[in-house]
Structure 1
Amino acid sequence: MTDSGKANDLLSQIPKGEGKGLPPVHLWNPDFCGDIDMRIARDGTWFYMGTPIGRKPMVKLFSTIIRRDGDDYVLVTPVEKVGIRVDVAPFVAIALAVEGEGEAQVLRFTNNVDDEIVAGAEYPIRVELDPQTQEPTPFVRVRTNLDALIHRNVFYQLVELAVPRDIDGQSWLGVWSSGQFFPIAPQPD
């Protein structure tokens, strides 16, 4: 079957729900059917056979059936599982709403497929540093084992909200959300 046929077949297998949440992809264990030419770029753009998928409803539909198995990203339905490439993360956090302040602060992210994520124990914020350049790459958990890259402008908002806190004898700058403190950078000397 061609890649185009695989994508159309995959779409036809997505169960039609009542809009009551995401499909239970964690329960589905069909046979692996190989990789398809689908890629999610760093900026959150989905590509199929080298062409951007321009229809947001289609991207949103595909985003409901993505799962991470180890280091691999797959699109999965009850009867088929196919591999896709993800450059950095399958989602991008593109907006931030801040409610409250201090330890009572709540950070609400919106990602590129209109999911809302409230950072907290279940949906932590983390920052990876490039070992050579020390450039930060911030993420927020969106679903089990799936993250959103925090867009640069949103990360600047987090930096503006950062407060110092001592963690294990080291001073960090970080943000509070839902009663959790998330370190984002060591405090400069």
Structure 2
Amino acid sequence: MATLTRSGIGRGVPYEPPPELAALSLGQLAEQVAARKLPPIDQWSPQDVGDSEMRIAADGRWYHQGGEIRRPAMVRAFSSLLVRDDSGQHWLVTPFQKLSIEVEDAAFIATDMQATVDAQGRAVLAFRLNSDDLVICGPDHPLRVTGTHDVPAFYLSVRHGTEARLNRSTYGQLIEHALAIGGSELAVESQGARFVLVPA
């Protein structure tokens, strides 16, 4: 982590928590998503490969060499550098380094959900992550369900192969929304895409 910090990542990062998700209109949600300026990871090809000695626990907390990283701004900065490759390995990527990071479950935790509609009357589901990112579910950010019928696990695609696991209260919101919709099976729609909420 020290090398990443020397490169300027995670140091002096301005940070202001966004407003409550329930208070945002669809237009404001879109503005919040657009305002999140992410580094162009897909344009970088670092040659220096190593180990970050960092870990993301199943509850979403970040650790470096066994000590928890408690600064939200630093976690938010590091989370913007995350990618997951086809083998499932997570990496922190900068223009000069590609450092492995251990992820116990998912890189992010979805902590809140809002259901709204767009100008065409289509359902839209927006999720807040523990990094304070906002992700609008849809074809580019699909939901998937694993586990069993008794103990399901819900995941939302975030970016660069990474995912967010919905925490208990958030998947409770999702299930309540699906039940309110009704229908022959437990499912939701967002941005024209349909997602069945039962493990295959």
Does the CA contact (< 8 Å) of 2:36 and 2:133 recur in 1?
no
Partner Cα separation in structure 2 for residue 72 and residue 180 of structure 1: 28
- Written as runs of structure 1 = structure 2, the 5 A alignment for 1:110-189 is 110-130=128-148, 135-162=151-178, 163=181, 172-185=185-198
TM-score by length of 1: 0.82
Partner Cα separation in structure 2 for residue 157 and residue 20 of structure 1: 25
1:172 CA drift (Å): 3.1
Does the CA contact (< 8 Å) of 1:106 and 1:177 recur in 2?
yes
> Residues 137 and 99 of structure 1: is their aligned pair in 2 closer, same or farther, counting only changes over 3 Å?
same
Q: Which runs of 4+ in 1 moved over 6 A?
A: none
Residue 68 of structure 2 corresponds to residue 68 of structure 1? no
Partner Cα separation in structure 2 for residue 20 and residue 127 of structure 1: 27
More strand by share: 1
Structure 2: stretches of 5+ with no match in the other structure = 14-34
Alignment-mate amino acid for residue 188 of structure 2: V
Partner Cα separation in structure 1 for residue 9 and residue 66 of structure 2: 27
User: Structure 1, residues 27-72: CA drift from partner, whole Å, max 9, x if none?
Assistant: 2121243223210011110011111101111101101111112221
Query: Corresponding residue for 2:124?
Result: 106
Query: Corresponding residue for 1:90?
Result: 107
Partner Cα separation in structure 2 for residue 112 and residue 27 of structure 1: 26
Structure 1: stretches of 5+ with no match in the other structure = 1-6, 166-170
Partner Cα separation in structure 2 for residue 111 and residue 179 of structure 1: 22
Does the CA contact (< 8 Å) of 2:82 and 2:160 recur in 1?
no
Query: Corresponding residue for 1:4?
Result: none
Secondary structure at 1:182 match in 2: strand
Partner Cα separation in structure 1 for residue 162 and residue 84 of structure 2: 7
Instruction: Give the count of matched residue pairs.
Output: 172
Q: Percent identity?
A: 35
